[in-house]
Amino acid sequence: MGVSLTWIGVVLLFNSLASVLGSYLGGYLYDRKNPYHLLVGGVVASTITLLVLIFFHGWPVFGIVLFFNGISGGWNLAIVNSIGTSIKTKDSRYVFNMLYFVQNLGIVIGTSLVGFIYSISVTLMFVVASLLFIIFLGIVITKYKPAANESRKRVSDTEKTTWDAKHLPRANTIILITFFMSLFIIWIMYQQWVSNLSVYMTGLGIPLRNYSFLWTVNAGLIVISQIIINWIARYHENLIMQIFFGFSMFAVSFITLIFAKTYPTFVLAMVILTIGEATALPTIPALVNVLTPVEAKGRYQGLIQSYASAGRAIGPLFGGMIIETTSYTALFVIATVAVLVVLAATVVLWNALHGKLTEYQ
């Protein structure tokens, strides 16, 4: 497109901030409007942005369209997760694990195809993306209506107790805020893997293709991990311990990075990170679902996505500032300490308040 890396960074920042906005709006409206119509509208909006990019993918149209794509993407994810809270034939942990599983399966397939398609034509890449979203729209129109209607019915049945007149118990509120802030910090640190680690590794003489392979390892392990976790969930159910374990693995992965100088060590750190990611991140929405009433589930599922998107937006800038003023090692130390603080705060507050928590269906 003939633009600087700085402008590309700005575009990606606003894309993430747009996702924050879309996630919040989607979750907020889920509790008040028909989820089916909201999701159809969101998928149509995403499809339109991709169709526009087929014909206009130069600068600055690309950056502007990507902003609106971020809004619709965050909106759709919040609505889908919120509809997931209404599924009572399966355990909520299974539902959110499967949502996380299929998202990452899509990443595995997408990353394996995008390079090949891009080498043929950038226009073809947007054509394929548009076709996939048209198929997604067809699935939403034909398959999502029963689940969305059930979700709408559950909210209607409780509308005599309006959300404006009802507040969460104090213990629930504190724990939810803890989860949201934890996600925000975790994603800031996670983004260092995405945005800054490639420069660090290539500076050590490790080829860029080896860094790219780490994400193949990540996506593949997530798919395998979700299958294992869903099997374990049939016999053991302790959501908070999964979150504690996942946060611990995040910390260990950054400790490993402090000492990583060879490629096998980076692979080990990625394996540990992926175990933490697969264990903790899908479990938080499941536990938030348990701690929120039916008339506010959309709002809080939307906030999960908003805080995660905010962390993803700030992460690259945060890491870049630390690296420029200190070093990569200092960044890894700060990330380790931050995740350990998140873990300690979550453990302390949960142990202090779990006996006072109110659980909802």
Q: Give the model confidence (pLDDT) of 322-356 as tens digits.
A: 998 999 999 999 999 999 999 999 999 999 999 99
Low pLDDT (below 50) residues in the chain? 160-161, 163-165
pLDDT of residue 146: 65
Helix (H, G, I), strand (E, B) or coil at 38: helix
Longest dimension (CA), the chain: 64
Question: What pLDDT is recorded for position 161?
Answer: 44
Mean of pLDDT over the chain: 87
Pure H helices in the chain: 5-30, 35-55, 61-84, 92-120, 122-143, 145-157, 170-195, 197-203, 208-233, 239-259, 263-280, 283-290, 297-325, 328-353
Report DSSP state, residue 360.
-
Angstrom distance (rounded) from CA 285 to CA 292: 11
For the record, the structure tokens of 254 come out as: 């950054």
- Supply the pLDDT for residue 1: 62
- Sign of dihedral through CA atoms 351, 248, 223, 126? positive
Whole-prediction pTM: 0.85
pLDDT score recorded for residue 150? 57
Place of tokens 């290539």: 202
**182-215, pLDDT tens digit by residue?**
999 999 999 999 888 988 999 999 998 898 889 8
pLDDT score recorded for residue 276: 94
DSSP designation for 165: G
**Of the candidates 112, 95, 97, the residue with the CA atom closest to the CA atom of residue 225:** 97
What is the dotted CATH code of the domain comprising 5-158+166-356?
1.20.1250.20
Alpha carbon dihedral 27, 101, 10, 13, in 10-degree steps, equals: 40
State phi, psi for 333 to the nearest 5 degrees.
-65, -45
